[in-house]
Structure 1
Amino acid sequence: MANEAMQQNWAEGAAGWVANEAVFDALFAPVTAAILERSGPAVGHRVLDVGCGTGTLLEKCAAAGAEVVGVDIAEGMATAARKRVPEATVIVADAQTTDLLGEAPGVPFDRVVSRFGVMFFEDSTAAFANLRRAAAPGARLVFACWRSDEENPMFSLGSQILMDRLDPKPETPAPGAPGPMAFADKDRIDTLLDAAGWGSVRIEAFDFECDYGFNGTDGVEERLTTILGGGIGRLARDQLVPRIGIDGWESLVEEVRGELRRHLVDGALRFPGAVWLVTAANPV
């Protein structure tokens, strides 16, 4: 499998994502709804979900009557998606290089969708070209990807306290490097899709609210759990516990908890999210 670095990253991170599935589903519900509105899955459609995670889009598209196929690079994610959407075909593969119709035989896909799953390829042009090869003429591509770090507290609120204690710190990714912010540059998305042969590209700014208080709590523990289960949280624990001990680690976690409490809005942790919603078509 290509893209070994991301394969390893998501193999380690899948457990935290699966454990917090309900939190992420609630946080990203507005993005999910926007993707579904633009893709319009329906009876008679065959839908491919790229980076399907635990199966949120698969479940929604199946409920609309579509035949659904998911591809994810992490076995942990795929296992959760199969359990959640038993009628789905879910394959563990790198969508950049895999013969998708060979792994999931059937007619070409009428819809290719993704919620935060397409930013991790080593060669994005090759990946989008591979997705287009599996798509029917006239098929629609719809995906969401993050805009900049500065617009998205999701990637710093609370976790920055842990990041500041790391030594050595992770290297800052170069602009466009595989990772959550790979497509922060709108013009780069347009260039990549054009080079991969997709047409009728439209890129919209979409703003929404990340509401960690979705279940009636203040959301602090929900946010804390996702931080500790994420990449920075796992790295910080592995690096810092041997240095400061369990008591020191618990004290640091309490510091993060206090920082989150200082950002409550009307009694709950809420902050903005900023993504690009991208649509394109496979030319007929």
Structure 2
Amino acid sequence: MAQVAELRARNAAFWDRAAPGWIRHAERQDALGRPLGAAALDQLRAAPGERVLDVGCGCGGTTAELAAAVGPTGAAVGVDLSEPMVTQARQRFPGPRFLAGDIETMGAVPGAPFDAAYSRMTLMLLADPVAGLTTIKKSLRPGGRLAATVFRDGGAVPWLFAAVLGAAPHLGPMPPLPLGDEPGPFAFANPARLVRALTTAGFDDAAAEERDVTLDTPDEPDPVAEWLIEVGPAGAAYREADPDARAAARAGAVRLLERFRTAGTGYRLPTGLWLVTAVAGG
């Protein structure tokens, strides 16, 4: 496994290149990607007046949802590694507070302590999960709660491979695939590693429960394929390709995604998650 400093540099470079796709598809990601974090939102039960931290806020949709839950007497703060996405979040949602920075190296998030922390599909991407989780724990009051989601194993997210494998032959060089426990979609395929990281970071009652959800999309093959390509590992290579190569990449993804499509209805993309819960120790 690469050293943590190398992995952090790789993460920063990846998200610099990935940000334009996430910004372009922010509305679609908020609407169609909501099931990816719904179980954690339900578990968190953010209440009026609470202060809530959103780790990996992206373009701000999840933070805005948390801000609505805590109301004007509460506060929602979103943190993300990508400065361009944080800038976009501020433009889209002027109410919550958004911060650009690496959760692993902050020590504590400005505005701490928080009553609760939420994260949708971000913990699996940390170069040093224990460091990131330690920051989250330090940013919570004693007894503060954490609810998050991450992917399970690759077999539980078959559409991700379909989009990447369909597009890749038509594009230029792609980022290196994560190895072993390196940051990536399936870094926590083994839930014991996730629970161990939470416990090491100072959380109590750490748990990871299986959840199966479905992403439902309109019957729009080309836009759906482009969305999945652009928010995935092929996104930067796709945007740097010429128009003919991009069209071929979309066609390749459409072909491999066909098994998830019902003509006239849309796509149903099965997704296996871990629902992550824990409580900050005293």
User: Displacement, 1:36?
Assistant: 1.6
User: Displacement, 1:12?
Assistant: 1.3
CA gap 1:283/1:63 in 2 versus in 1, 3 angstroms:
same
User: Displacement, 1:31?
Assistant: 3.3
Between the aligned partners of 1:57 and 1:36, the Cα distance in structure 2 is 9
Aligned residue identity for 2:168: M
Aligned residue identity for 2:105: T
1:187-266 correspondence to structure 2 within 5 Å: 187-213=192-218, 218-230=219-231, 231-235=233-237, 238=240, 247=244, 250-261=247-258, 263-265=260-262
Cross-structure match for 2:20: 15
Larger mean CA deviation between 109-118 and 220-229 belongs to: 220-229
Q: Is the 8 A contact 1:142 1:278 kept in 2?
A: yes
1:79-228 correspondence to structure 2 within 5 Å: 79-101=87-109, 104-105=110-111, 107-164=112-169, 170-213=175-218, 218-228=219-229
User: Displacement, 1:151?
Assistant: 1.1
CA gap 1:211/1:283 in 2 versus in 1, 3 angstroms:
same
TM-score, length of structure 2 as denominator length = 0.87
1:54-73 correspondence to structure 2 within 5 Å: 54-64=59-69, 65=71, 66-73=74-81
Q: Is the 8 A contact 2:167 2:248 kept in 1?
A: no
Cross-structure match for 1:271: 269
Between the aligned partners of 2:235 and 2:25, the Cα distance in structure 1 is 14
TM-score, length of structure 1 as denominator length = 0.86
Pair member with larger Rg: 1
Report the RMSD for the aligned CA atoms in angstroms: 2.3
User: Displacement, 1:174?
Assistant: 1.4
Q: Is the 8 A contact 1:17 1:229 kept in 2?
A: yes
Between the aligned partners of 1:254 and 1:204, the Cα distance in structure 2 is 36
Aligned with 2:85: secondary structure? helix
User: Displacement, 1:83?
Assistant: 2.0
Match for residue 82 of structure 2 among 68, 74, 86 = 74
Between the aligned partners of 1:158 and 1:121, the Cα distance in structure 2 is 23
Runs of 4+ in 1 over 6 A off after TM superposition: 166-169
> What are the ranges of 5 or more consecutive residues in structure 2 without an aligned counterpart?
none
Query: How many residues are treated as equivalent by the alignment?
Result: 271
